[in-house]
Chains A and B, each alone.
Chain A
Amino acid sequence: MPPTSALGRPKVSREAPVTPTDVAAQRMSGSPAVAADPTEDRFVALAHGVDGPERGCGLQVSGDSGASWVAAAMPQLPEGVEWCSSLDVAFDGGGRLYLLFTGFAGPDPSPTGVYLSASDDRARTFATSHRVLGPSSRGARLAVDPSPGGAGTVHLAWLADSGVVMAAQSGDGGRSVSEPVEASDPGERVGPPALTAQAGGGVKVAYFDLGSEDAGPQARPRSLVVAVTDRTGSFGSREVVDAAVVAPPQDRAVSGDLAAPPAMAASADRTCLAWTDSRFGDPDVLLRCRSLSGGWEPARRVNDDRRGSGYWQYRPGLAIADTGRIDVAFFDRRENVRNSLTGVSYSYSYDALRFSPNVFLNRQPFDATLRGGRPSTQAETPGDTGPGLAVAAGDTASLAAWTDTRNHTPELVAQDVYSAQATLLFASRRPPWAAPAGAATVALGAAGLWLFRRRAPVEP
């Protein structure tokens, strides 16, 4: 267990309801994706799915770093698209908001393609949506070159019908898309991807290798792979980050019930991956990072309950702040003896070796065995409250958003998205000399005042 005494306990905000509850309409919101504007980190956008009463998607925005949320208008659906799902959001370095969604139509229903839209006015209006991928693209993810100034290249990664993770990019906001390239080896059987883009065009794609000999939809993650683009834009190298992944029980991987991809985040000098792993006897959240100069660090257990406690921690969200702080949030059932009610825990680290004490972000636990507000048919599956948590890292605070069933009752269906912030004192982007210099100046000043008063002549 790494020592955690050096890392302070963050201050946790009140939980904020992100989506409106409507039990009468049996509204079910979930599957959040969140991003903070790099030009104004008080502005945060959160896209989410709506599973009922009619399927669809929504966009909520915040002007106070996620302390409160209001609804924003979604882009107009393209002709032939009846509803949207599977959303992702990202900002470029100039503050342009990109929204990616999969369109559906028909009674079946059938996917019509993956669409990209953008907003230059903080989600007040959106440009026309462009179809960027075909209907057979599953688990599509979005990342934007974060170079300051904006107009960054938009990168896409998805799981093709052939079972291969593909990637492409667009330099004009989705009007045209490059020829897709294979990110995973066609010989591998893989899960859906996670994606990061770095300033200047570097792209990393992470996915689980499900093992080539397994057949059928029961294939389970066996190893964690990262593919990195080379100078030509193709994925010249694939690296097995962890070859000893032990999938949580009954974690379905493919064929209509996509396994959660690993969580991935990258900064200028570090790439990190977090995922659910049962190698220590029950589902835990593990993290591995690689700095520019070295190889992948050994896997670290982020949750700080007793190893093999029997309580599940799973489906992490991950982000890296500009200050280098690594933020991890995850579902956590440690406080429920029946292992069904879950909370949301948070921890941070600066070196991927030592983690802060876990703190709960939610005050009110909720039933994790509900999916879409209804009892899950896979009640033993970790992550049955949706495809994980969404995390956005600011300089001094981390924002996490999650699918939450606290408003659900046996008689009345309800599923919402809630969020909370973990604020860290003394973790702002001030230069390293500022704090000691300020403290020294204050101490000198105080000492001077004391000397001055001591030497001052006493008036008779």
Chain B
Amino acid sequence: MRQRAVWLLAVVAAGILSTSCASTQEPVRASPLPPRPASVRVTMADFYFVYPNRVPAGRVVFDVTNAGEVPHRLSLFRLPDDGISAADHLRTTAEPPAVPLQNMTILQPEDEGTFAVDLVPNGRYVMASLLVGPDGVNDAERGMIVEFRTRSQPWAWLLLADLLVSRNSSMA
């Protein structure tokens, strides 16, 4: 009896293999495929960002979600190393005023968006939401502003970056 069961299972397995193996084809090229770009998941909440501890340089894809209950809008700035705080740069006390690398459309609650940027090594960047609320106060003044510096990191760190996330505190 047990032999019959084994035989039947073997037949079932062969059937499944016949459907799956028939569609595979081994590539025969020597050159490696291009690497995937680094990916950074950013969650916008009310009123802070959740984002990876380390953001690498090079091509980086930002996947942004609004998990809050009010709309937010992510802007990404590159700032000079001039000692002026990010908040002051965005209040345009600096000259010239900062212009964003990216200025996403407004994300309503539960909306998602994605964009790619090329970040320079050891560059100084700021993520902020400058959306003004009904009370005239913008999200950055409530805490949605965070500064980070890009790093060239070993692969292990890049893999860990997705796991190690930060919740920023107010810099305003």
Q: Could you list which residues of chain A lie within 8 angstroms of chain B, going by C-beta atoms?
A: 14-24, 37, 39-40, 42-43, 61-64, 67-72, 95, 120-124, 363-364, 395, 406-407, 409, 412, 414, 416, 428-431, 434-435, 437-442, 444-446, 448-449, 452, 456
Interface contacts (Cβ under 8 Å), in number, total 148
A-contacting 9-mer, from B22-30, B80-88, B131-139, B157-165: B22-30
Whole-angstrom distance between the Cβ of B155 and the nearest chain A Cβ: 15
The answer to whether A63 and B8 have CB atoms under 8 Å apart is: no
Q: Give the nearest-CB partner of B98 in chain A.
A: A24
Q: Give the nearest-CB partner of B112 in chain A.
A: A363
Q: Supply 13 further A-B pairs (C-beta < 8 A) apart from A17-B61, A409-B103, A448-B8.
A: A22-B101, A23-B102, A24-B78, A69-B59, A71-B118, A429-B25, A438-B19, A440-B15, A441-B15, A442-B15, A446-B12, A448-B4, A448-B11
22 A-B pairs within 8 Å (CB atoms) are namely A15-B114, A16-B61, A17-B115, A20-B117, A21-B115, A23-B100, A39-B29, A40-B27, A40-B29, A43-B33, A67-B36, A70-B59, A363-B112, A407-B102, A407-B103, A428-B23, A437-B18, A441-B12, A441-B15, A444-B11, A446-B12, A452-B1
- Most B C-beta atoms less than 10 A away, residue of A62, A122, A444, A445: A445
The answer to whether A438 and B15 have CB atoms under 8 Å apart is: yes
The answer to whether A438 and B61 have CB atoms under 8 Å apart is: no
Q: Which residues of B contact A449 (CB under 8 A)?
A: 5, 8-9
Q: Which residues of A contact B104 (CB under 8 A)?
A: 407
- Most A C-beta atoms less than 10 A away, residue of B11, B19, B113: B19
Q: Which residues of B contact A16 (CB under 8 A)?
A: 61, 114
Contacts A62-B34, A68-B37 given; indicate if A442 touches B12 (C-beta within 8 A): yes
Question: Once the chains are docked, how many angstroms separate the CA of A414 from the CA of B116?
Answer: 12
> Which listed residue (A70, A122, A395) contacts B29, Cβ 8 A?
A122
The answer to whether A71 and B59 have CB atoms under 8 Å apart is: yes
The answer to whether A21 and B102 have CB atoms under 8 Å apart is: yes
Q: Which residues of A contact B113 (CB under 8 A)?
A: 364
Q: Could you list which residues of chain B lie within 8 angstroms of chain A, going by C-beta atoms?
A: 1, 4-5, 8-9, 11-12, 14-16, 18-19, 22-23, 25, 27-37, 39, 59, 61, 63, 78, 99-105, 112-118
Q: Which residues of B contact A68 (CB under 8 A)?
A: 36-37, 39, 61
The answer to whether A42 and B33 have CB atoms under 8 Å apart is: yes
Q: Give the nearest-CB partner of A409 in chain B.
A: B103
The answer to whether A63 and B15 have CB atoms under 8 Å apart is: no
Q: Give the nearest-CB partner of B10 in chain A.
A: A445
The answer to whether A72 and B34 have CB atoms under 8 Å apart is: yes
The answer to whether A124 and B117 have CB atoms under 8 Å apart is: no
Question: Once the chains are docked, how many angstroms separate the CA of A397 from the CA of B4?
Answer: 40
Q: Give the nearest-CB partner of A94 in chain B.
A: B29
The answer to whether B100 and A122 have CB atoms under 8 Å apart is: no
Q: Which residues of B contact A124 (CB under 8 A)?
A: 31
> Which listed residue (B18, B29, B112) contacts A438, Cβ 8 A?
B18
Question: Once the chains are docked, how many angstroms separate the CA of A39 from the CA of B31?
Answer: 12
Whole-angstrom distance between the Cβ of A396 and the nearest chain B Cβ: 8
Question: Once the chains are docked, how many angstroms separate the CA of A23 from the CA of B104?
Answer: 10
Whole-angstrom distance between the Cβ of A65 and the nearest chain B Cβ: 10
The answer to whether A445 and B19 have CB atoms under 8 Å apart is: no
Smallest CB-CB A-B distances: 8 pairs: A441-B15, A63-B33, A438-B19, A445-B12, A17-B116, A40-B27, A428-B23, A430-B22
Contacts A23-B101, A441-B12 given; indicate if A14 touches B31 (C-beta within 8 A): no
> Which listed residue (A69, A120, A363) contacts B37, Cβ 8 A?
A69
Q: Give the nearest-CB partner of A457 in chain B.
A: B1
Q: Which residues of A contact B37 (CB under 8 A)?
A: 68-70
Contacts A21-B115, A364-B113 given; indicate if A39 touches B27 (C-beta within 8 A): yes
Question: Once the chains are docked, how many angstroms separate the CA of A456 from the CA of B5?
Answer: 11
The answer to whether B103 and A22 have CB atoms under 8 Å apart is: no
Q: Which residues of B contact A452 (CB under 8 A)?
A: 1, 4-5, 8
Whole-angstrom distance between the Cβ of A293 and the nearest chain B Cβ: 28
